[in-house]
Amino acid sequence: MNGHTHIVGGLLAGAVAASALGQSGAHLLPFLAASALAAPLPDVDHPGSMYGRYVPLPGVARVGGKVERYEPGPFGNGSRSFGHVGRRIPGGVLWHRGPTHSLVAAGIAGIVALVVLLAAARGLAATVALGVAVGYLSHLALDELNVSGERLLWPLSGREIRLRWPSVRVGSLGEAAVLLLMLGGLALVGGHDLPRVLLALVRVR
């Protein structure tokens, strides 16, 4: 899924979670914003992703069994790698939909947010950290619809897990349909708060 699809998915997951958890008042907007903005985070392992393009680590693509420097764009090797892209890190390569697409990584993201905000904004630390975890998990849930699997149980298992149906390719009509369904759900669940949340997200980005 593309970054904007994940943001909508994170926002929808946040709205549902906020309703279930009773998040309201001054805590509602930070919770929803954290959920939406954290949703694209797992894709930092992809050098062409919304956040990944700003990570100062070399991107790589595996084409025909050979690992090359990642080249973006429709004519770059990223389009010929069939999703086998990643980043060089000390000791090897962090491949896309690997450790960052795991339940452990979702927990780590929430804990990091909590620790950082305990020093900067103690009153909102737990709210934002929970929102980050919800948004991160929404990404993993959406990627289960993709044709490629995720290593959800890393580091306990390196097995790729994915739903067998449906199989939605990135940028396809299937993704557009998923996006429209989520927008409809968002209008039903959190329609009255949506204008304020969208305005806040625009300001943050």
Mean pLDDT, consecutive 10-residue segments, the chain of 205 residues? 94 91 84 95 95 94 90 76 88 94 98 91 89 98 92 94 85 92 84 57 53
Q: What is the pLDDT of residue 27?
A: 87
Q: What is the pLDDT of residue 191?
A: 57
In degrees rounded to 5, what are phi and psi of residue 149?
Answer: -85, 180
What type of residue sits at position 19? S
User: What span, in angstroms and rounded, lies between the C-alpha atoms of 134 and 150?
Assistant: 17
Element holding 14 (H helix, E strand): helix 3-21
What pTM did the predictor assign? 0.89
User: What span, in angstroms and rounded, lies between the C-alpha atoms of 59 and 35?
Assistant: 27
User: What span, in angstroms and rounded, lies between the C-alpha atoms of 45 and 24?
Assistant: 34
Q: What is the pLDDT of residue 202?
A: 56
Q: What is the pLDDT of residue 35?
A: 96
Residues 6 or more apart whose Cβ sits within 8 Å of residue 15: 32, 186, 189, 190, 193
Contact 194, 185 (CB under 8 A): no
In degrees rounded to 5, what are phi and psi of residue 5?
Answer: -65, -40
Q: What is the pLDDT of residue 195?
A: 58
Q: Domain ranges in the chain?
A: 3-44+96-204, 47-95
Q: What is the pLDDT of residue 131?
A: 96
